Amino acid sequence: MPMTPDPERGVELLWRQEEREPRRGLTLDRIVRAAIELADAEGLEGLSMRKVADRLGFTTMSLYRHVPGRDQLVELMLDEVAGEALPPGTPPAEEAPRPPQGWRAALEAVARQAWEQRKRHPWVAEVRGTRHVPGPNAVASYDSLLATLTGTALRPSEVIAAVGLLGRFIDAEALLLVETRREERRSGVSEEEWWGARDSLYAHLDRYPTITRLWESGGWDHPVDSFEFGLRRLLDGIETLIREREENRDETCQECGTPLETASSGRPRVYCSRACQQRAYRRRRRA
């Protein structure tokens, strides 16, 4: 019988803290790869322990010896996919170096890589919720992503927020792609064909002046690529914030970004507190 999902058990599986003996050729890695192939073909809604077992030629119960349930299996699948973008043998780093090509080029490259990954594995965008335990590949990818903005004028909390915003944007675009493909498979009609047949709807739209003006000016004739448009605008926003922070760098704590008060001695201050000064010192030592 399937076990109740246990976050700690998920950590053990993802980080391989618990080694398991293969049973007649059935291994955790084989299960994960078969599950990814199944999800690539049928989407996350088509993923089940029974279907994975059938694909491998084993009973469903034999899978539960390796994976407690579907939730843990999905987490393993996510980490396996995250590893596709990492160079073989990527070691964990205490302090990832800042990309030599500049933060914007590095962040854009990572975003495009993630977009291509989601086109290969559309189901990744279908994984919802905020309590999915990350594995080593996912953490390494996240660490690398944070490194692209570490060292800029952004505050530490803003680095984390910017990376999170980028990830949510990519997932939102990928989810739209998933939903479009699902509807096309279900109906056998392409998105363009379906909307092109909505003449009865369009007959009502000429009463709306802004829609009419944009329609007559060709606004819908050649739509922009939503991913490209959104990515560039998002990067523009981060760049604007970095410039603002650089202009005000002398007026804020160089570690946490808190506005600085003038010291009683009149000397310029660099950090808002002793704690921030010590954190900056430790970070320089690690680098």
Indicate the range of 12-16, 91-95, 127-131, 134-138 predicted with least confidence.
Answer: 91-95
pLDDT on residue 262? 60
pLDDT on residue 209? 94
Task: Tell me how far apart the alpha carbons of residues 253 and 274 are, in angstroms, rounded to a whole number.
Answer: 11
pLDDT on residue 18? 45
Q: Considering only residues 180 and 265, tell me which one the structure prediction assigns the higher pLDDT.
A: 180
> Which band of pLDDT confidence, cut at 50, 70 and 90, is reported for residue 120?
very high
pLDDT on residue 174? 92
> Which band of pLDDT confidence, cut at 50, 70 and 90, is reported for residue 94?
very low
Q: Considering only residues 5 and 199, tell me which one the structure prediction assigns the higher pLDDT.
A: 199
Residue among 107, 98, 102, 106 at smallest CA distance from 150: 98
Average pLDDT of the residues of the chain: 84
CA 67 to chain centre: 24
What Å distances lie between residue 260 and 26, 200, 245, CA to CA? 60, 62, 13
Contact present, 184 and 190 (Cβ < 8 Å): yes
Task: Tell me how far apart the alpha carbons of residues 193 and 190 are, in angstroms, rounded to a whole number.
Answer: 5
pLDDT at 65 over 50: yes
pLDDT on residue 1? 42
pLDDT on residue 268? 61
Phi-psi map region of 123: left, alpha, beta (phi>0 left; psi -120 to 50 alpha): alpha
| The residue type at 137 | N
Q: Please, what are the domains in the chain?
A: 7-85 (1.10.10.60), 103-252 (1.10.357.10), 253-287 (no CATH)
